[in-house]
């Protein structure tokens, strides 16, 4: 009979984090479990998977007696440990004959069944050449965090369901840069981060991560510092990341990501600069009176002001609001969905937003009025037809 002893403050956060990988419904029943695997000394790995993504987090526990390698239902284990609080001493006895794990604590105990670990699936491997690269946490978290919101949920276009990442050479330099792109076909976001190293082996290489994998990566990176490094490996089918005592691997979304540079407008010569917070607030107020199916608002730029108008003819409601901006070009009226424009503007990390337009039928280019050195953030929003 093997035993372990731990504090819930040590184990609970790790179990909670890996349990998020587990799907509520699984075609393979063992994937409803987390895998506990004692390594050496007081090190233990906790692993979870949904069949596409695997996450392993290493943790230190107080004591291990014997060999521990078993699978316990993720939801039950997480719920049970959470009920004990964050500072409880717990001892677990694993009975290999009955396949019952008995959890003992100061005021009581509970029992959970466990399964043998031999049937737990491992990440699939391929013979494809693997590429390795070291990145700063800050670069990866900024790129994923700024593009995650624009992914699609359309299963007919699986490439749009994730974030595409490309490695390129800088246009005016031998050094490299990393590009993050996402789109739902109505809006597109592109974030470019220049790197201080040459990436000859990575030039013109890219892959597409699922949104779920991207969310997991962002959570892992939160556990470290911005200037910490993470180690990335990828090939044609899979991606893996090592950082902060954790390892994640996932299958990549297959299929060719479209030429995103071709849809980014280059001749939008009418530019308005407006307060980010003022624009968001005005959009939220007028959105309540818009047609609830389209949520369309017209924006008329003229004489250093933008006039926002919405209406719903079915319910005879309307609203309008004027916001100050910097605009001295010829008047232009363009329509956007309020919710889509709010999402794009809210994601810009700058007090002032620049909106570049050419005519009411072409995509609007929405960017920060100033960009941090070494980065470029671009978003586009497709306009709506004004009736």
Residue ranges making up the domain that contains 270: 264-381
**Shared-domain flag, residues 242 and 324:** no
Pair (110, 13) in one structural domain: yes
Q: Can you tell me whether residue 130 is helix, strand or coil?
A: coil
Q: Is residue 70 part of a domain?
A: yes
**Which is it for the CA torsion 7, 8, 13, 17, positive or negative?**
positive
Q: In sequence order, what are the residues at sequence separation of 6 or more whose Cβ sits closer than 8 angstroms to the Cβ of residue 121?
A: 28, 30, 31, 49, 51
DSSP 8-class letter at 384: B
End-of-domain residue from the set 207, 225, 258? 258
- How many alpha carbons lie under 13 Å from residue 176 in its C-beta half-sphere? 18
Three-state SS at 79: helix
Is 339 within a domain? yes
Q: Which residues contact 83 (CB under 8 A, 6 or more apart)?
A: none
Specify the pLDDT at position 138: 92
Q: How high is the pLDDT of residue 26?
A: 78
pLDDT of amino acid 155: 67
Task: Please report whether residue 336 resides in a domain.
Answer: yes
Given a contact cutoff of 8 angstroms between Cβ atoms, the answer to whether 310 and 339 are in contact is no
Q: What is the pLDDT of residues 308-322, one digit of tens each?
A: 999 999 999 999 999
pLDDT band, residue 4 (cuts 50/70/90) = very high
| Coil, helix or strand at residue 23 | coil
Which residues, 6 or more positions from 33, have their beta carbon under 8 angstroms from its beta carbon?
22, 71, 72, 73, 74, 115, 120
C-beta separation of 15 from 78 below 8 A? yes
Tell which of 225, 258, 291 closes a domain: 258
| Nearest by Cα to 383 from 254, 255, 212, 268 | 268
Let me know if residue 387 belongs to a domain: no
Is the pTM of the predicted complex or chain greater than 0.85?
yes
pLDDT of residue 27: 80
- Looking at the structure, tell me whether residues 139 and 248 fall in a common domain: yes
Q: What would the pLDDT profile of 225-283 be if each residue is shown by its tens digit?
A: 778 889 999 988 999 999 988 999 999 999 889 899 999 999 999 999 999 999 999 99
Q: What is the largest CA-CA distance in the chain?
A: 81
Average pLDDT over residues 293-297: 95
Residues 144 and 245 in one domain: yes
Q: Does some domain include residue 42?
A: yes
CATH code of residue 190: 3.10.150.10
Q: How far apart are CA 49 and CA 122, in angstroms?
A: 9
Are the beta carbons of 270 and 358 closer than 8 angstroms?
yes
Whole-Å CA distances, 87 to 33, 75, 253: 24, 20, 41
- What is the pLDDT, as a whole number, of residue 220? 92
pLDDT at site 40: 82
Quote the number of domains for the chain. 3
386 domain residue, yes or no? no
What pLDDT does 153 receive?
84
pLDDT 10s digits, 180-202: 999 999 999 999 999 887 777 67
Tell me the average pLDDT of the chain.
Answer: 92
Residues 166, 235 share a domain: yes
Whether residue 282 sits in one domain with residue 366: yes
The answer to whether residues 237 and 281 belong to one domain is no
User: pLDDT of 49-58, one tens digit each?
Assistant: 999 999 999 9
pLDDT the model gives residue 1: 81
Q: What is the tens place of the pLDDT at every residue in 134-182? A: 999 999 999 999 999 999 987 688 889 999 999 988 877 778 899 999 9
Domain boundary among 94, 119, 144: 119
Q: Look up tokens 């790790």; give the residue.
A: 14
**Closest Cα to residue 337, out of 272, 285, 275, 287?**
287
User: Per the domain annotation, does 344 fall within a domain?
Assistant: yes
39 and 140 assigned to the same domain: no
Q: Give the residue from 52, 55, 63 showing the smallest Cα distance to 18.
A: 55
Please tell me the predicted confidence (pLDDT) of residue 130: 86
CA distance 111 to 152: 42
Residue with tokens 């991560």: 209
Q: Are residues 86 and 195 in the same domain?
A: no
**Orientation angle between helical segments 137-147 and 211-221, nearest 10 degrees:** 140
Decide: 175 and 169 in contact? Cβ < 8 Å: yes
The mean pLDDT of 44-67, rounded to a whole number, is 92
The span from the CA of 320 to the CA of 288, in Å, is 11
Q: DSSP assignment of 235-284, as one string?
A: -SSEEEEEETTEEEEEEPPPSPPP-GGGGS-S---EEEEEEHHHHHHHHH
Q: Strands of 89-95's sheet, edge to edge?
A: 63-65, 2-7, 89-95, 100-105, 108-113
Whether residues 12 and 62 share a domain: the answer is yes
Q: Are 114 and 72 in contact (CB under 8 A)?
A: yes
Do 34 and 62 lie in one domain? The reply is: yes
Position 70 pLDDT exceeds 80: yes
Residue 14 vs residue 203, higher pLDDT: 14
What sign does the CA torsion over 135, 138, 139, 142 have?
positive
Examine the pLDDT at 90 and tell me if it is beyond 70.
yes
* In contact, 352 and 368? CB cutoff 8 Å: yes
pLDDT band at 105 (very low <50, low <70, confident <90, very high): very high
User: What is the C-alpha separation between 25 and 40, in angstroms, rounded?
Assistant: 33
* Cα-based torsion angle of the residue sequence 227, 233, 239, 242 in order, rounded to the nearest 10 degrees: -50
Same domain, residue pair 70 and 144: no
| Assigned domain for 214 exists | yes
């Amino acid at each position: 009979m093997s035993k372990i002893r731990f504090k819930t403050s040590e184990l609970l956060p790790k179990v909670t984090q890996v349990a998020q990988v587990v799907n509520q419904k699984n075609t393979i029943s063992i994937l409803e479990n987390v895998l506990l695997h004692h390594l050496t000394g007081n090190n233990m790995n906790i692993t979870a998977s949904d069949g596409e993504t695997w996450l392993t987090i290493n943790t230190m526990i107080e004591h291990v007696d014997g060999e521990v390698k078993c699978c316990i239902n993720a939801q039950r284990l997480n719920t049970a440990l959470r009920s004990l609080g964050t500072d409880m001493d717990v001892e677990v006895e694993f009975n290999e004959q009955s396949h019952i794990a008995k959890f003992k604590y100061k005021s009581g105990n509970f029992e959970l069944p466990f399964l043998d670990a031999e049937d737990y699936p491992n990440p699939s491997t391929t013979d494809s050449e693997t590429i390795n690269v070291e990145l700063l946490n800050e670069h990866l978290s900024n790129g994923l965090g700024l593009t995650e919101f624009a992914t699609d949920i359309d299963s007919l276009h699986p490439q749009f369901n994730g974030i595409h990442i490309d490695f390129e050479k800088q246009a005016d330099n031998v050094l490299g840069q990393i590009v993050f792109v996402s789109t739902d076909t109505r809006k597109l976001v592109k974030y470019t981060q220049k790197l201080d190293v040459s990436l000859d082996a990575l030039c013109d290489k890219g892959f597409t991560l699922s949104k779920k994998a991207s969310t997991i990566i962002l959570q892992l990176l939160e556990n470290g510092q911005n200037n910490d490094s993470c180690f990335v490996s990828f090939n044609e089918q899979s991606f893996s990341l090592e950082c902060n005592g954790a390892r994640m691997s996932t299958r990549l979304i297959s299929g060719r990501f479209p030429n995103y540079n071709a849809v980014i407008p280059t001749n939008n010569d009418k530019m308005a600069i407006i307060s980010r917070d003022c624009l968001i607030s005005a959009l939220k107020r007028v959105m309540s009176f818009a047609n609830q199916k389209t949520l369309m608002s017209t924006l008329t730029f003229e004489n250093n002001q933008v006039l926002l108008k919405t209406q719903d003819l079915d319910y005879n409601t309307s609203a309008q609001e004027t916001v100050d901006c910097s605009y001295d070009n010829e008047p232009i009226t363009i329509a956007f969905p309020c919710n889509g424009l709010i999402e794009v503007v809210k994601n810009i990390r700058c007090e002032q937003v620049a909106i570049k337009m050419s005519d009411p039928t072409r995509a609007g280019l929405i960017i920060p009025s100033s960009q941090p050195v070494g980065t470029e953030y671009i978003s586009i929003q497709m306009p709506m037809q004004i009736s």
